[in-house]
Every structure is written in structure tokens, then in C-alpha cells.
Amino acid sequence: GLAIGSAVAGGGHHEDAQYPDPFTSDQPYRDVLSSEFSSLSPENQMKWEYIHPQRDTYDFEAADRIVDFAERNVQEVRGHTLLWHSQNPDWLENGDFTPEQLRDILHEHISTVVGRYAGRIEQWDVANEIFDGNGQLRTQDNIWIRELGPGIIADAFRWAHEADPSAKLFFNDYGVEAINAKSDAYYELTRQLRAEGVPVEGFSAQAHLNLEDGFPADLTRNLQRFADLGLETAITELDVRLTPPESGTPTEEQLAEQADYYARTLQACLRVRTCHSFTVWGLPDKYSWVPSTFPEQGAATIMWDDFTRKPAYHSLLDTLAAA
């Protein structure tokens, strides 16, 4: 009953020789995705700037490719994402729209994108990263909340539910693995929205972990309190970054500790009855987002660049075997 997923790398439709799309050009990569995983998450291909590049233009090519591939391989798909502050196209962020127009734009987008894949996507990250680290709504950088107020969040869930009543609809964020101000904010919001009958059905922790931050020891307890509210839970973007020594190669100790973080995250999901989806944020390291964002860090995924397995891969397998 647990789907094991990976992000699918790439920006898709960008015809850029310098950045070939791994999903269309790297056969060993495709083989690993189809043989090792039972769920796929488009890493970028369903985000606004890719799927809705102009106001009147949708580009479904890359997203279709992933959903078709998943279907052929009997895999689930996690849709990512509909209401977010990041990776929005210029026409949207810099457009001169009235609140009514913006509302219509979001409604149309959700109906179109969720409707296109209705019945083929198990879980949708409807609202992504709406709180900052202090548990405050992103009222400045999130265009939807800034221009339309927080009520737009409930509308997004309602519209997604209308477009695909069978998809589980999630809040998704990073830094919410532990019980802290941010996860508390989600706890209060999901409780309130469900009391109002808004179709919020899931809460997921991305789990972009860092060896230097320590492991979020109360992860199980945190997921459990959302499960107790009746919510599905999930781990959606797990990776464990580290700072290798100057040689660039992680030490054995680092790899062992990383393997332990992966295993403990999976154990948390296995212990929580409503956690049915566990996804790593891509592999191998050459396709990881980490080094471009944290230049000193890397090696965050479970596979080396030639697809040989790291200790973290084996620790996940061992954890599943023991479950």
C-alpha cells in the first residue's frame, strides 16, 4: 500500500542543447525510473512556467510524456503544483490584472490542468509552500495570496476537487518535518478548512534534509497528528544533502549517516497509517537541484551518477524488507 516515487528531472519543452532533457535523452535513467519506482513526480514539467507559458497557451507535451510513461509502467503520479509563489511565468507575475481577472486565470488553470489528467493523478500538490519559516502566510511573494487574500487557497482546493474528484489534494512544504511554527500553521489551517468542508485531503512534508541540520526526530509524531485529523500524509521530495570534503567525494561516515536519514524518514512514513506515498527528489546526483542552489553541497540522492547504488539506496530496501 505504499507507493515509492521519484521526481522526474527536466524542464521538458526547452529545446536547449546545453541542458538536454534527461527524461527524453537518457535511457538508463528511464530504465531506473520505470523499474525501481511505483510513483513519479514531475520535478518541473507541471509548474506554471512550463505548462502555461503564455496566457492563452498551455504546453502539455512534457507533462503528458510523464503521465503516459507512468501509465505504461503501472505507476502513480503526483501532480506538482497549482498555487505557488515560485516558477510562475512572466506574463502572470508581471501582468497588469485586476483581482477578478487573476481569480479567473487561476480557476481556468486549475480546471484545465487538473481536468486534463483527471483520474490519472493520485495526489495533487494544490498549494505549495504557502507559509514562511515563521508560520506566516506568504502575503508578499505569493501573487495569489497577495492579490486575492488567503481565501483563494480554499477556492483552489474546491476547483481542483471539481476538476478531479478522485485525486487526493495536498498542502506541500519544506521545513515542516518537525513540529515547529510552520507545521503548526498547517495544522491549524488544515483543521479549519476541513471543518468548513473544504476538500483538503493531505499534508505532505517535502523532506529536503541536510546532514548539518540534524534529523527531525519528531517526524513520526508530526505526521501522526495530521493523520489524526483524517488527512493523508506523504513524504514528497526527500533528499539528504551534505558537504563533502575538498576532494568532492563524501566520506564513508557521511554516506552512512545519510543512509540513516533516508531509512528513518521511510520508517516514519511506514509507521503512520495514512502515509501512502514516499518520494525521493530525483536521482542520480547529476540531476539533483542541490548543487545549483547550495554550491558547497551535493551528493544528496540515493544513486551515483552511473546509477550504482549508494548506502542510502540499500538502507531504504532494508527498511522495506523489515516492514
Other C-beta atoms closer than 10 Å to the C-beta of 84 total 21
d(CA 12, CA 63): 8
Contacts with ligand G3I in 75-114 (CB under 6 A)?
Answer: 86-87
Interface map 154-183 toward ligand G3I (x if CB under 6 A): --------------------x---------
Active-site residue set: 129, 237
Interface map 235-274 toward ligand G3I (x if CB under 6 A): --x-------------------------------------
Bridge partner list, 286: none
Cell for 66? 510523464
Q: 51 or 319, CB closer to ligand G3I?
A: 51
Q: 287 or 319, CB closer to ligand G3I?
A: 287
Contacts with ligand G3I in 42-71 (CB under 6 A)?
Answer: 43-44
**Which one of the spans 13-21, 57-65, 150-158, 162-170 is the region binding ligand G3I (CB under 6 A)?**
13-21
**Interaction between residue 291 and ligand G3I (CB under 6 A):** no
Considering the complex, what minimum distance in angstroms separates the CB of residue 236 from ligand G3I? Answer: 8
Q: 174 or 307, CB closer to ligand G3I?
A: 174
Considering the complex, what minimum distance in angstroms separates the CB of residue 47 from ligand G3I? Answer: 7
Q: Which bin fits 175, alpha (ψ -120 to 50), beta or left (φ > 0)?
A: left
Of 284, 289, 311, 315, which lies in the binding site for ligand G3I, with binding defined by CB under 6 A?
Answer: 289
**Which one of the spans 8-16, 116-124, 175-183, 211-219 is the region binding ligand G3I (CB under 6 A)?**
8-16
**Interaction between residue 16 and ligand G3I (CB under 6 A):** yes
**Which one of the spans 12-20, 27-35, 106-114, 314-322 is the region binding ligand G3I (CB under 6 A)?**
12-20
The residue nearest ligand G3I at its CB is: 11
Q: 88 or 271, CB closer to ligand G3I?
A: 88
Considering the complex, what minimum distance in angstroms separates the CB of residue 41 from ligand G3I? Answer: 9
Interface map 178-207 toward ligand G3I (x if CB under 6 A): ----------------------------x-
Asked if residues 63 and 46 have their Cβ atoms less than 8 Å apart, the reply is: yes
Q: 44 or 301, CB closer to ligand G3I?
A: 44
b/e per residue, 57-68, with b = 16+ CB within 10 A?
A: ebbbebbebbbe
Sites of contact with ligand G3I (CB under 6 A):
11, 14, 16, 19, 43-44, 86-87, 174, 206, 237, 289
